[in-house]
Amino acid sequence: MSFNLTSAFTIYRAELLRFLRTAFGSLVSPVLTTCLYFIVFGAAIGGRMNEVGGVPYGAFIVPGLLLLTMLSESTSNASFGIYMPRFTGSIYELLSAPVGVAETLFGYVGAAVTKSLILAAIILLTATLFVDFHIAHPVAAFFFILLVASAFSLLGFILGLWADGFEKLQMVPLLLLTPLTFLGGTFYSIDMLAEPWRTVALFNPIVYLVSGLRWTFYGQADVSIAVATGLTLLFLTICIVIIGTIFQTGWRLRE
């Protein structure tokens, strides 16, 4: 299999520039939302809450809130990136170029991941304004965030190929990811749930992500970091296989 580095970087750069063109809008809204969560749940209510497993409540919710934004932003950024050229028809250029699935993914998904990492950094910086927290395993945290951003950018890419309208584009982040993240232990430890809800929660894949990230932050979590990483990797692999198949069959790309 060949890989054209120039083509891949060209797409990557163009996508990132497109992001910077609208950087203000793309960053302000998620950052503002996160601030509101910190003010309400971290500072205002958090002060009256007990520690969770020895972590102050304000700090406890940081990984979950970070994921809340990351999941929906990664997904929607990547889906938008590939949906727009399909929508305007300018995708003809990509299709007529000597560019395969690898370059396309590197460019579009790579750019979406980069945006998510920038966003994550900004959100964490913002969080320090509201709560005190200390990241126990920063390197692991970085790689876990990278992994999650990649997996959900890939999911977004699939979404952008599948969608045939703007509503569908927003449906998955809004109707699926956000509720699952809310219920996935962002604001509580699932150990705090009574049965059968605790067992039900274990079927929510986001629980493992929140838990995994929380482990990299505070060294403790509901499920083991190995399980969380394994599941995320599995998810990422499935996405790549799906995208590979899409490119091979040309579904939604070629008439």
Partner 1 sequence: MKSAGLAPKQSFVDTILDIRGLSKTYPGRGNAPPVTALDNVDLQIRKGEIFALLGPNGAGKTTLIGAVCGMVRPTGGSVSAFGHDMAKDWRRMRSRIGLVPQELSVDIFEKVHRSVAYSRGLFGKPADPARIEEVLRTLSLWDKRDSQLRALSGGMKRRVLIAKALAHDPDLLFLDEPTAGVDVELRRDMWQTIGRLREQGVTVILTTHYIEEAEEMADRVGVISKGRILLVDDKHEMMKRLGRTEASFTLAAPLDSLPAALADYPVTLEEGGRSIVFRGGDGSGLGKKQVAEIARILVNGGIEFDGIDQHESSLEDIFVRLVDEKGAKAA
| Residues that bind partner 1 in the complex, under the rule CB under 8 A | 2, 4, 6-7, 9-11, 13-14, 17-18, 21, 84-85, 88-100, 250, 254-255
Q: Which two tokens stand for residue 19?
A: 């992001």
Nearer of residues 92 and 197 to partner 1, judged by Cβ: 92
Shortest CB 14 distance to partner 1, Å: 5
Least distance (Å) from partner 1 to the CB of residue 248?
Answer: 11
CB 214 within 8 A of CB 221: yes
Residue whose C-alpha is closest to residue 160's, from 149, 150, 171, 176: 171
State the minimum distance, in angstroms, from the CB of residue 255 to partner 1: 5
Give the residue with the Cβ less far from partner 1, 27 or 135: 27
Q: What is the nearest approach in angstroms of partner 1 to the Cβ of residue 113? A: 20
Q: Which is closer to partner 1, CB of 132 or CB of 255?
A: 255
Q: Closest CB to partner 1 among 51 and 93?
A: 93
**Rounded Cα–Cα distance for residues 132 and 62 (Å):** 10
Task: Check: CB of residue 77 under 8 Å from CB of residue 18.
Answer: no
Residue among 208, 203, 237, 238 at smallest CA distance from 225 = 208
Q: What is the DSSP string of 133-170?
A: ---S-HHHHHHHHHHHHHHHHHHHHHHHHH-SSHHHHH
Q: For residues 95 and 121, which CB has a smaller minimum distance to partner 1 in the complex?
A: 95
In the complex, least distance from residue 103 CB atom to partner 1, rounded to whole angstroms: 9
Distance (Å, whole) CA 27 – CA 210: 22
Whose CA is closest to 30, among 80, 57, 65, 5?
65
Q: Is the Cβ of residue 50 or residue 88 nearer to partner 1 in the bound state?
A: 88
Of 132, 145, 125, 126, give the one whose Cα is nearest residue 51: 132
Q: How far is the CB of 78 from partner 1 (least distance, A)?
A: 17
